[in-house]
Structure 1
Amino acid sequence: MIQKITRSILTGYYRPVKKFVEDPLGIQQRTLDYLLKHGRNTLYGKENNFHSIRNSSDFARIPVISYEELRPWLDRIILHKQQEVLWDTPVKWFAMSSGTTEDKSKYIPVTKESLYNGNYRAGYHMLGVYARHHPDTAFILGKTLVLGGSQQINRIGGDIYTGDISAILMRNLPAVAKRRRTPEGIALLPDWEEKLQKLADYAVKADIRAMVGVPSWMLVLLKKIVEDTGRTIPEIWPHLEVFFHGGVSFLPFQEQYEKLIPSAKMRYWETYNASEGFFGVQFSPASKDMLLLLDNEVYYEFIPSGEWDKNNPVAVPLSGVETGRQYAVVISTSGGLWRYRIGDTIQFTSTHPYLFKITGRTKQFINAFGEELIVENADKAINEACRLTGSKVTEYTAAPVYFGEQSNGAHEWLIEFETPPANLVEFTHILDESLKRLNSDYEAKRSYNLSLGMPVVKIMEKDTFYNWMKQREKTGGQNKVPKLSNDRKYVDSILYFIGNNTQ
């Protein structure tokens, strides 16, 4: 009876999803109206004349901004204790975002509305979509293992606090939800290695039925549990059912998870959540394409690829997107973000409903020679090279090698393997051929080795990336190894780190 009731509750969470799937543009217009109603009397709204905005075309006159342009407005709240700056209710929380393309933390405002009507509501949507396809689900009857960031909650003056978005979400969860998840006392520990050990000790004794986290870091925890216990994951958690994952592409890690969890009933469900909000969830078991979440108090706009580097880029509303094109995401939210560029790039695969896949970041690509290589290309090529050589990759990063007096340019790949290839030359050749097949610009630049030579692949020792991230104080669920960079900042940093630790 309990199982039937919980299943009914979960499948009921799909009803609001069905509404915005059937009326996406109407929901988005109502969202914009709602946001503007709350924004008109703010300092930002007055400066940008929100009172004159009546539709999406009027709204498009407001400048698209980056974090650097947002920061002075945040300082008014954080440093000068002003209210009604970006939103008309108090901002108590700021999510610290340590993204892959920024060295310093960014502070993203989190309001009560964005927390409850954005993040938590989107979480219910995720459960509803999943339960719609899997009405036999029983994970809610057990515990959910949540591996979030390591940033503890900090007071930065008055009633204003900062922390990873995962810490903020967990701190504000309703009591009934907290009982179903990893204990808060463990989940919010600031020291990553202490948290890892305590999570492992807790988890092996619990009835874990679901997991939530970033694939790379959850893999570290699962391997530790297997190593500590000498048992397989299905032996430890016979009712484990689903891993809700996000943050990085799952493709490079899929084979390792299937090896660690050899269970036909195990499911992997993609999500798209960030410090700025929860934007998408996998729509069906047949594809990793995600449904754009439209009633979570987020108004979306999209900058086509040709506009990314312009000072005043033209962004299109949801009604103007096309399948197959690359877009940078722009959001306006009840957290007080207005036409804010979050840095992620997506490609729509359907507009009925609005399904998409993440393709990378506007700052995470290689285009040193006109090749326009994006993370999606790199992940797929790495996966193909692994499949054909029987190898498994743990982490990687790549950057350009610039022209020399005696050499053409190339891409340098630093790769850490779980299972290295027997023949590195073969692996490199397959990687190169896969990139050619996936990216016509890369293929053109590789023609006859005129401007771009063969990839240069270097094998990293075990735990190189982990130790490098640790040295940079960027361990934990919110932090990610940058996959691609258009300069050599990260690659040279890793090589320097290796050199200093081998002398």
Structure 2
Amino acid sequence: MELLNLLISQFTKKRVGQIEHFMEHPHEVQHQTLKDLLAKASQTEWGQRYKYAEIKNAEAFRQRVPVSAYDDISQDIKRMLQGEHNILWPSKIKWFAKSSGTTSDRSKFIPVSQEALEDCHFRGGKDMITLYLERNPDSRLFLGKAMSVGGTLHAQEDNEEVSYGAISAIVTKNLPIWAEFARTPSTDIAFLPWEEKLDTMAHTVADQNITSIMGLPTWTHVVLERVLEVTGKENILEVWPNLEFFAHGGVAFGPYRELFRKLLPSDDITYIDIYNASEGFFGLQDGDCEPDEMLLMLDYGVYYEFIPMDEFGEESPRTVGLDQVQAGKNYAMVITTNAGLWRYKIGDTVRFTSTSPYRFKISGRVKHFINAFGEELMVENAERAMAKASEATGAMINEFTAAPVFTQDGQKGRHEWLVEFARAPRNLDDFAKALDEALRELNSDYDSRRHQDLALLSPIVHKVSEGTFYNWMKKRGKLGGQNKVPRLSNSREFVEDILAAVSTEKGTL
């Protein structure tokens, strides 16, 4: 064991120094990243169209290349799916990460180049292990298996050379042999349809020595509950006593913390937040980060810009670089990547907690918010408030979503929440009150609208039955993989769809 740790420490020592370098010299690293990306793609269609060879600095890049959403590049991506090359990126694109659709497309297909796999996604996974081992030199991590809960892959119908699916599945498919040997389940199980995979996976991993887990809290929880059913054990540590850490991403962990504390009843488990999206691996929680806070990884072949959220709706939004962001403000992320996404609006919003080094929290999605009454409620507010309300009332959350109840017939508006509890509060009214109080504490705009019911009445909270969100996601074809329950919506589409299918228990103040 000592020899193994010695070999690993020698391998990771150099990388720790590189991470420290970009933390100390972020702007130089980002400048070089942009320079390298432009040079690499100068002879592509996009490079020729926007004369990349003439661009010498970030300001010229902003002036010449437009900010893009998926709809703006969807036709180029369709050509790439059919086998055309050298459009957005010079190397051949064989993989596309499928994620939730936009207003005009049911699904998005995000190009994943070999460079993005090696220099971004793989490096993110290796850095997660590197930083963990740096803090835990006596780790026994490599004496067991790493369990990952991911999605599936599919071949493109009109082009057999191209495959698409969840980014987790693409990464798994391309792992080196040594990494594939260290993980579980095998790919023949990992790539099964979700409901078939769930049972097979639970039976397979139950008898293995699992030392680490990686996945979305939503689907990981489902797998772990099934493992307990298979084994008859009370908690997961009775099944896997050598489990050391759980790396999670996709949604904020706060609302799930109590749920996992019950599944993993030990203070020795390390929880690691990661920001690994279809478009790239952007951040991870290092030793100095607070819960839900991550270090922005600056040498993964991704160049970052940010749109201040108070300017987001403008036709030609202003972007700022890292050197101009301010701690405490919400920004929409704009990325340029080594897979050919140029000044691309990823759809996520972040709030910087530090600018030396650059640390941040994911604050939400540009389309997932409620602002029907000027309350500007972001996903970050909702998830933190849910965690506070759960703690105050002894509840545990499986899933939730919320939407506005619009003003009608002289009645003021309010918010309506659908919550699936792993452990329900004794009194749902108390939970609704605690939720309202937490939202008022966390969001001054919400508080001002709620003051004396000035513009917003107290929230309605519905307790929905166990399995409601799972069945709803199944109906929408969104089980497993990268799929997440939308936390907030400014329309009532999701809430009405769920309410039409279930009976609820209601709580208000």
TM-score by length of 2: 0.95
**2:507 — aligned with what?**
none
2:137 is equivalent to residue 135 of structure 1: yes
Shift of 1:230: 1.4
CA contact (8 A) 1:332 1:338 kept: yes
- Residue 242 of structure 1: which of 242, 245, 248 is its match? 245
Residues 22-67 of structure 1: per-residue CA shift (max 9 Å, x gap)? 2111110110010000121111111122222110000011110100
2:28 is equivalent to residue 38 of structure 1: no
Shift of 1:100: 9.7
CA distance in 2, matches of 1:343, 1:497: 29
CA distance in 2, matches of 1:360, 1:115: 25
Counterparts in 2 of 1:476 and 1:158: CA distance versus 1, 3 Å = closer
**2:49 — aligned with what?**
47
**1:92 — aligned with what?**
94
2:356 is equivalent to residue 347 of structure 1: no
**1:330 — aligned with what?**
334
CA contact (8 A) 2:102 2:108 kept: no
CA RMSD of aligned residues (A): 1.7
CA contact (8 A) 2:147 2:185 kept: no
**1:367 — aligned with what?**
371
CA distance in 2, matches of 1:133, 1:310: 44
CA distance in 1, matches of 2:500, 2:320: 43
2:236 is equivalent to residue 233 of structure 1: yes
- Residue 448 of structure 2: which of 428, 444, 466 is its match? 444
Shift of 1:205: 1.0
Shift of 1:5: 2.5
Residues 174-224 of structure 1: per-residue CA shift (max 9 Å, x gap)? 111100011333443331111111111111111100000001110111111
SS of 1:14's equivalent?
A: helix
Counterparts in 2 of 1:160 and 1:186: CA distance versus 1, 3 Å = closer
**1:258 — aligned with what?**
261
2:437 is equivalent to residue 433 of structure 1: yes
TM-score by length of 1: 0.96
- Residue 171 of structure 2: which of 166, 169, 177 is its match? 169
Residues 319-375 of structure 1: per-residue CA shift (max 9 Å, x gap)? 111111101100001100000000000011111111111100111100000000011
CA contact (8 A) 1:111 1:335 kept: yes
Shift of 1:226: 1.1
Aligned pair count?
498
Runs of at least 4 residues of structure 1 off by over 6 A? 99-103
Larger deviation: 324-333 or 131-140?
131-140
**2:221 — aligned with what?**
219
**2:210 — aligned with what?**
208
CA distance in 2, matches of 1:321, 1:19: 20
Question: 1:306-317 to 2 correspondence within 5 Å?
Answer: 306-317=310-321
CA contact (8 A) 1:322 1:348 kept: yes
CA distance in 2, matches of 1:451, 1:103: 36
CA contact (8 A) 1:152 1:167 kept: no
CA contact (8 A) 1:115 1:169 kept: yes
The one-letter amino acid paired with 1:141 is L
Higher RCO, Cα 8 Å, sep 6+: 1
**1:275 — aligned with what?**
278
Counterparts in 2 of 1:261 and 1:285: CA distance versus 1, 3 Å = farther
CA contact (8 A) 2:76 2:87 kept: yes
CA distance in 2, matches of 1:184, 1:331: 33
**1:83 — aligned with what?**
85
CA distance in 2, matches of 1:103, 1:430: 39
CA contact (8 A) 2:172 2:187 kept: no
The one-letter amino acid paired with 1:425 is D
Shift of 1:10: 4.2
CA contact (8 A) 1:147 1:187 kept: no
Larger deviation: 223-232 or 289-298?
223-232
CA contact (8 A) 1:156 1:162 kept: no
Larger deviation: 393-402 or 376-385?
376-385
Counterparts in 2 of 1:123 and 1:234: CA distance versus 1, 3 Å = same
CA distance in 1, matches of 2:491, 2:250: 22
CA distance in 2, matches of 1:285, 1:315: 29
- Residue 31 of structure 2: which of 19, 29, 32 is its match? 29
Counterparts in 2 of 1:235 and 1:13: CA distance versus 1, 3 Å = farther
**2:477 — aligned with what?**
473
- Residue 387 of structure 1: which of 361, 377, 391 is its match? 391
- How many percent identity over aligned positions? 44
CA distance in 2, matches of 1:63, 1:226: 51
**Structure 2 unaligned blocks of 5 or more:** 504-509
Larger deviation: 102-111 or 158-167?
102-111
2:199 is equivalent to residue 197 of structure 1: yes
CA distance in 2, matches of 1:194, 1:458: 31
